[in-house]
Every structure is written in structure tokens, then in C-alpha cells.
Amino acid sequence: MHPKPRLLAAAAATLIGSDSENTDKIGPFVYGTDGKGGENLIVQAGGMRNRHANAATWTDSTGIPRNEANLYMNGPELFAFTMREVPSCIRSLLQVTKTELNDYDLFVFHQANRYMLEHLRKSLRIPEDKFYVSMEHCGNTVSSTIPIALNHAATEGRLRPGNRVMLVGFGVGYSWGAVSVIWGEQK
């Protein structure tokens, strides 16, 4: 008999400060959004939208019981969006920063899922030792994944002051963004 898994919650707060050198260590940013993907990741009756939605349950084409208060995710469409926009976003950041992939010490992407991250890493030809994945502790925590992964990387010694890091977020809506960061001392 396997032990019952613990349910964990996760959140992150990020403090950004300045240093006495007065040098830019964050940026530039490259980002974009395309609202046409909104229907591929949505709670149809969420928040103030359709508050009196039909609570009736039906079975979708994959045999899963659903209702309008459930999160709907079109996995194949989200995967296609990610594989199309994330590499393009990274190429744009490299162009703006006049850098190459090998100029970065570590890459920390939104921790969507291991399958997607591994496909991105391979398609971008990022060496495995420079690509940080941290999903064992809490999985996909949506917008908290990058700060949580940064904390784990720093704690594990994979992220040290002076490292050049590329952070890449993507997801809901569709939205995407990337930034170059020089990691500083943690206080």
C-alpha cells in the first residue's frame, strides 16, 4: 500500500533591489500576448463570468465528466502554442541582448510539465546541465513556478551570484515573455 500523497500549496513573493554599482542586472524583456488562445485554458463559469452557469455535468469526448465550473485545458493546443512562441521569444531576446544561448549559465522556464520542458530544451539545444527543472517539490504552481525554481536552484548551488540567467514564462491567454538576469547576492 502506497502512502497517501500530501497536498502541498505554493506561493512566491519576489523582492527586487538595487546595488551600489548602479548597473542593470535585469532586462531587457521580450514579451507578447495573443488572446485567441483564451478558450484553450479557461474556467467557463469562473469568477464573475457566467455566475449562474448550468451546474449540469456531461461527459466529454475523452470520457471525463465535466461542468462549466471545471478548468478546461486543451493540452494539444497549449503544447503547439508553447512550441511555436517560446523559441521565437527566446530568439528575440538573444537578438535584443546580442547574446547566444551559450552565454547563459542557467535557463529557468515556467515549470509547466516535464514533457513540455524537455521538448523545449531539446528543440532549443540547451544543454541539460544548464536547464533547471524543479517540479518534484510542488509541480506546476502557475505564476509562482519561476521564483520557486530560482529559490531551489540557489539553494542547490546551481545558481550563484554573477550567473547570467534566462527566465522564460508562458501560458494562459496566450502570453509569453523572457528576460535576461544577472543573479545577485541573496540577503
Number of domains in the chain: 1
C-alpha cell at 112: 509547466
pLDDT 10s digits, 35-71: 988 888 888 776 676 666 666 788 888 888 888 887 8
Q: Tell me the residue range of the domain where 135 lies.
A: 26-39+73-182
The pLDDT tens digits of the residues spanning 143-160 come to 888 998 999 899 999 999
Distant-in-sequence, close-in-space partners of 70: CB < 8 Å, separation ≥ 6: 43
Assigned domain for 125 exists: yes
Residue 74 reports pLDDT greater than 80: yes
In a domain, 149, yes or no: yes
For residue 136, being part of any structural domain is answered with yes
pLDDT tier for residue 97 given thresholds of 50, 70 and 90: very high
CB neighbours of residue 119 within 10 Å: 15
pLDDT of residue 46: 66
The verdict on residue 85 lying in a domain is: yes
16 assigned to some structural domain: no
- 91 lies in some domain: yes
**Higher-scoring residue by pLDDT: 167, 139:** 167
8 lies in some domain: no
Nearest to 54, CA basis, from 62, 44, 63, 64 = 44
Q: What is the CATH number of the domain that holds 88?
A: 3.40.47.10
Query: CA angle 161-166-171, nearest 5°?
Result: 135
Q: pLDDT value at position 150? A: 93
64 within domain boundaries: no
The answer to whether residue 5 scores a pLDDT higher than 60 is no
Integer Cα distance of 82 and 76 in angstroms? 10
- Note the pLDDT of residue 103: 97
